[in-house]
Amino acid sequence: MRPGAVEVGLVIGVGLLALPDLLRIDRFAPFAQLVSFRPYVLCGLAALVLVLAGLSWRVRRLILPAVALLAVLIVGVAITAPRAQAGLLPSGGGRPFTVLAANTLDGSADPTGLAELIRTERPDLGALIEVGPWYRDRLAPLVEPLGYRMITATGTDSDGVTDVFGVTVLAAAHLGDVRATVDRSTQFPIVEIEGGGLGATRFVAFHAVAPRLSDVSEWRSDLGALARYCTDSTPTIVAGDFNATLDHSALRDATAGCSDIAAQRGRGLQPTWPTWMPSWFGAQIDHVLVTDPIAAEDFVVHELAGSDHRAVVARVRVPN
């Protein structure tokens, strides 16, 4: 028996929910929000396929919907599963370099905890998101004795009191006299660091607006700004809160010339937001991206008290 309208509607609805990026409708609400949680949608889809397969022994018209949804499931798994498989480690060459990315939730993160993370991990550079002058002044006395300085930029909407529009780069003193350039073409400033001990490498601290219903267009525009870093010939590290996962076609298109460190190390499905959910549930929206010839060595997620984001630490090898 052929499937009825209900079964056809079910297949279409679930297909759009699980694979909106293939039709590029994930660039619009509500799919921009829903696709962030595709791994969990696929788990639910797997359960649905099993239920339909079981029922199809009695209700024959469910066979085709079950097969169609199984095909959707296979495509979805083929897209997401590689991020949980680590690639080969780099075989020498270059020098080790550690990067930190942390969103402090408008300066709400515990500065003592962040300073302890910095003391333990010793990043060479860090992208501190939603860190403006107020939080920087609280953190500085804790990290300057460790051999760091901070370069802070604020967005055009900053009121000088909140930290939400601030982006701060944490720079280790051993890098010497690095140069900072601030791009304010997006809602949040983009801070570029070059020179000094970085050599030929460029570091970019990046924050995209969240894809809220009223901000989806600006979110797409912010992500589009990444293309100039991923297509440039300069070896580049981009770190921060992208407010997008690798399931978003807008992010994948803009970063086609970059590699995601978490995905390279088989940790591309590890959630970094939100921290109020169980640690196994959420979306990885905080990233460290690199261009050739920078190679990935490690990626670790850390809890950050007071923030709704987890901090990430990436270890890479940069050109000498």
Q: pTM value?
A: 0.94
The DSSP code sequence of 238-250 is: EEEE-S--TT-HH
Rounded to whole angstroms, how far apart are CA atoms 234 and 179?
Answer: 15
Q: Can you say whether residue 236 is alpha, beta or left, with left for phi > 0 and alpha for psi between -120 and 50 degrees?
A: beta
Task: Judge contact between 20 and 42, C-beta under 8 A.
Answer: no
Tens of pLDDT, residues 90-130: 777 889 999 999 999 999 999 999 999 999 999 999 999 99
- Return the pLDDT at 190: 97
Q: 214 CB contacts (<8 Å, ≥6 apart)?
A: none
Judged against a pLDDT cut of 90, whether residue 62 lies above it is answered with no
Tens of pLDDT, residues 22-33: 999 999 999 999
Q: What is residue 49's three-state secondary structure?
A: helix
Rounded mean pLDDT of the chain? 94
Tens of pLDDT, residues 145-158: 999 999 999 976 65
Query: Where in the chain do CATH 3.60.10.10 domains reside?
Result: 95-318
Q: Which CATH number fits domain 95-318: 3.60.10.10, 3.40.50.150, 3.30.430.20, 3.40.50.720?
A: 3.60.10.10
Tens of pLDDT, residues 213-270: 899 999 999 999 999 999 999 999 999 999 999 999 999 999 999 999 999 999 999 9
